[in-house]
Amino acid sequence: MDTSGLELRFRIGSIPVVVEPWFWLSGLMLNMQSMQGPRIALWLLVFFVSVLVHELGHALATHAFGARASIRLHSFGGLTQPSRNLPRWRNIAMTLAGPGAGFALGALALLVLRFVPDLPPLAYWTVERLMIVNFFWGVMNLLPIPPLDGGHVLLGLLGRRYERTARIIAACVAGLIVLYGLSSGQIFLTIMFGLLAFQNIQTVRAMGSH
């Protein structure tokens, strides 16, 4: 394990992992209501494990298809970088493996809550957050909005010929979520999907100018 340069570096088997300093700050920003005593550290643990397991899903699928992969955890998420491009259907399978790993972790947490009686309050809180985060993020990641996993799947299914259509769909879906975020007072959701909508609109405009 290497902590030089403020980045945390380690390996899981043959998979190199880099954790940027901003990753931890973004984790705190995502759940400010948990900023009480030991729950601060426990929330960061939930955030770290959840994102890492998600990216490991991508990385292990990449390895299963004969390529190498590296993981970088950055602000508000992570990125798994394959050593080479995968064929279309393998790339889609690799993309879906991330949310799949998260759902598996969420299901494991649900089983613990269901079948392990009398958990201490902090342990129960931690496992419950692990379940909620992985189910919620898993569903959110499957939305057809690049660069979310669901967006990559949509692009893979439609192909480059229909990328403009995929981006328009993404901007519309993100816009609907922005409206929901505004009406429900969820600031982070509004900002995040507002940025995703803007990003896809800009891509559509750039494609139209060529």
Write out pLDDT tens, residues 130-170.
999 999 999 999 999 999 999 999 999 998 899 999 999 99
Domain-ending residue, one of 141, 163, 187: 141
Whether 74 and 90 map to the same domain: the answer is yes
Task: Please give the C-alpha separations between residue 50 and each of 43, 46, 135, 174, in angstroms, as whole numbers.
Answer: 10, 6, 10, 23
Whether 12 and 97 map to the same domain: the answer is yes
Confidence at residue 62, expressed as pLDDT on a 0 to 100 scale: 98
Whether 167 and 111 map to the same domain: the answer is no
Whether 42 and 114 map to the same domain: the answer is yes
pLDDT exceeds cutoff 90 at 203 = yes
Joined tokens for residue 195: 């940025």
**Cα-to-chain-centroid distance, residue 24:** 15
Domain-ending residue, one of 118, 141, 164: 141
Joined tokens for residue 177: 């979520």
Residue in the structure block whose two tokens are 């342990």: 123
Joined tokens for residue 150: 């669901």
Residue 184: CB atoms within 10 A of its CB come to 10
Specify the number of domains making up the chain: 2
Confidence at residue 29, expressed as pLDDT on a 0 to 100 scale: 80
Whether 179 and 114 map to the same domain: the answer is no
- Residue 29 domain boundaries: 1-141
Single pTM value for the model: 0.91
Whether 160 and 119 map to the same domain: the answer is no
Domain-ending residue, one of 141, 160, 183: 141
Starting at the edge strand that comes first in sequence, how are the strands of the sheet with 77-82 ordered? 8-12, 15-19, 69-74, 77-82
Whether 125 and 152 map to the same domain: the answer is no
Whether 57 and 78 map to the same domain: the answer is yes
Whether 126 and 93 map to the same domain: the answer is yes
Whether 20 and 49 map to the same domain: the answer is yes
Place 32 in a pLDDT band, splitting at 50, 70 and 90. low
Whether 137 and 158 map to the same domain: the answer is no
Whether 108 and 153 map to the same domain: the answer is no
Least trusted range by pLDDT, from 4-8, 79-83, 134-138 = 4-8
Pairing of β 15-19 and β 69-74: parallel
